[in-house]
């Protein structure tokens, strides 16, 4: 099986599990297309995209799902399709179509190990071009369906689309302190939770699960053995994975 398809199926399996865990009903799991019903009543059609998709296909998919009262969510595989972070780019036709639907951002995903990280890729205006900014990792339990109206050439109309709601902050507070009740500034002992926070460059106080996922994703994209030519690249990634798992174990109530 080609690596691309294998990673897509990994992403699909993880997404289905997360959706079920969040209370959604999975009506159909086709691998790269997943049909779900949200507890709020909206029907969502999720499309995992791993190769270039022309504007006419985006429109026909939207029209088909709309006729079936389904909101459409396109999730683009970042490694294959999205521009690198902080680059200034000339927007391609398919990107313009997505930006018209999702408000100057494109929903994307990364695959690391057995986990999938979903996040917005923002296209910030930079003269006649756009500057790429990778956003914070989101949770599937914040998936929602909305209606948008577009006046983009060849995309005029109202469409059912899906995205992720902004999360209210402060719902999960970590208080990691030293024994005397004050925040510790000492070098953390290897293997401890404090060392895990330090490795991911995080402040424990007021931390949320999505903050941890975002930090892990950004570091992993730089040190993963596929892109990191250092002799100890595998060891670096292993240490990052262990730190990530140690911190995420404190978020047992998070999806």
Give pLDDT tens digits for 103-157. Answer: 999 999 988 877 889 999 999 998 889 999 999 999 898 999 999 999 988 788 9
Task: State the pairing for strand pair 115-126/105-112.
Answer: antiparallel
- Token couple for 13: 């399996």
- Do the Cβ atoms of 97 and 159 come closer than 8 Å? no
- Token couple for 21: 């865990």
- Do the Cβ atoms of 190 and 132 come closer than 8 Å? no
Three-class secondary structure of residue 100 per DSSP: helix
What does the radius of gyration of the chain's CA atoms come to, in whole angstroms? 20
- Provide the phi-psi class of 159: left if phi over 0, else alpha when psi is between -120 and 50, else beta: beta
- Token couple for 50: 């791993």
Distance of CA 83 to the CA centre of its chain: 15
How long is the chain?
Answer: 255
What CATH number does domain 169-255 carry, 1.10.10.10, 2.40.50.110, 1.10.287.110, 1.10.1270.20?
Answer: 1.10.287.110
For 1-43, write each residue's pLDDT tens digit. 444 566 778 888 889 999 999 999 999 998 899 999 999 999 9
Task: Name residue, tokens 């950004």.
Answer: 218
Task: Name residue, tokens 């999960």.
Answer: 172
For 147-190, write each residue's pLDDT tens digit. 999 998 878 899 999 999 876 554 444 444 433 344 445 566 77
- Taking the model in full, what pTM does it have? 0.80
Question: What is the phi/psi pair of residue 51, to 5°?
Answer: -145, 165
Every domain of the chain and the residues it spans = 3-164, 169-255
Sign of the Cα torsion 21, 65, 112, 9 reads positive
For 197-224, write each residue's pLDDT tens digit. 888 888 877 788 888 998 888 888 888 8
């Amino acid at each position: 099986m080609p690596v691309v398809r294998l990673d897509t199926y990994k992403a699909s399996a993880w997404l289905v599990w997360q959706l079920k865990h969040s209370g959604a009903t999975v009506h159909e799991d086709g691998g790269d297309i997943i049909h779900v019903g949200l507890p709020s009543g909206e029907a969502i059609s999720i499309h995992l995209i791993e190769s270039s998709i022309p504007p006419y296909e985006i429109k026909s998919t939207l029209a088909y799902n709309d006729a079936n009262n389904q909101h459409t969510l396109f999730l683009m595989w970042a490694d294959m399709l999205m521009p690198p972070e902080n680059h200034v780019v000339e927007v391609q036709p398919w990107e313009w179509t997505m930006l018209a639907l999702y408000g100057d951002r494109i929903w994307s995903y990364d695959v690391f190990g057995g986990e999938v990280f979903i996040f917005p890729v923002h296209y910030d205006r930079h003269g006649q071009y756009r500057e790429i900014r990778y956003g914070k990792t989101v949770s599937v339990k914040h998936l929602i369906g909305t209606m948008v109206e577009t006046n983009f050439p060849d995309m005029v109309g109202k469409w059912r689309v899906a995205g992720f709601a902004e999360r209210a902050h402060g719902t999960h507070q970590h208080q990691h302190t030293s024994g005397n009740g004050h925040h510790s500034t000492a070098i953390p002992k290897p293997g401890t939770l404090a060392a895990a926070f330090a490795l991911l460059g995080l402040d424990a106080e007021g931390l949320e699960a999505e903050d941890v996922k975002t930090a892990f994703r950004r570091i992993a994209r730089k040190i993963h053995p596929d892109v990191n030519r250092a002799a100890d690249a595998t060891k670096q990634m292993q240490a990052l994975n262990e730190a990530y798992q140690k911190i995420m174990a404190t978020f047992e109530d998070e999806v």
